[in-house]
Chains A and B, each alone.
Chain A
Amino acid sequence: DTAVSQTPKYLVTQMGNDKSIKCEQNLGHDTMYWYKQDSKKFLKIMFSYNNKELIINETVPNRFSPKSPDKAHLNLHINSLELGDSAVYFCASSQTSGRTNEQFFGPGTRLTVL
């Protein structure tokens, strides 16, 4: 059973296009996250939603817009894609009231902008 899933796993697109990455978790968690891993493998948080409410919004260009239709889903929409957006994007989820605070990660989406 997949705990945190992302679609697509790979995305190749042209500069200037708009694309979306979808994330779903079946763990019943109340918080979901988007992280970006750049070409040097550095991981940085982008957004976090708790019960569909945005609680973390790091200094991310406003071309990136997260949307959480319900607690189990957090999608990432990117407008006017740029070369520098090429990265692996990870979705994660956790139960913030839980004892462990463990975040469960999805398999990642490798975005390549040409």
Chain B
Amino acid sequence: AQTVTQSQPEMSVQEAETVTLSCTYDTSENNYYLFWYKQPPSRQMILVIRQEAYKQQNATENRFSVNFQKAAKSFSLKISDSQLGDTAMYFCAFMKQGNTGKLIFGQGTTLQVKP
């Protein structure tokens, strides 16, 4: 069975600085997808970034980038130039390739951006 672990329950960062959120996962699959979702206080789940396991290049979306280490089963999220609106809970998630679409989530990391 696949598991996803986020070892940082809470983090804080000063506005405009950079922060990295950690995520590790366990799987015997070779083909899969990894995601970071953001859940602000409004509780809406918003996709931040995704990575296909077969791609060696790390995904980037504006200020958000990942460090994907397949051998180490690590998938960290880097937020550059942090903004107050980045304050939220962040979830790392795993999906096996296939047609079920089942997302397995980590426990979440609460990020506070301070002015």
Contacts and interface: CB of A to CB of B under 8 A. Distances in A.
A91 to B, nearest CB: 10
Max chain B CB contacts within 10 Å: which of A41, A92, A110? A41
B101 A33 contact: yes
Nearest to B104: A45
Nearest to A35: B103
Interface stretch (B12-20, B43-51, B77-85): B43-51
A45 to B, nearest CB: 5
Interface residues of A, number: 26
A40 B89 CA distance: 12
Interface string B33-48: 1010001001111110
Nearest to B107: A42
Interface string B71-97: 000000000000000000101000100
Given A90-B45, A107-B43, A108-B44, A42 B108 contact: yes
Contact of A102 (B47, B91, B100): B47
A101 B43 contact: no
Contacts of B95: 101
Given A43-B91, A56-B100, A103-B47, 20 more contacts: A31-B101, A33-B103, A41-B89, A41-B107, A41-B108, A42-B107, A43-B108, A44-B105, A45-B104, A48-B100, A50-B100, A55-B100, A88-B43, A94-B101, A100-B50, A102-B47, A105-B44, A105-B45, A107-B44, A110-B43
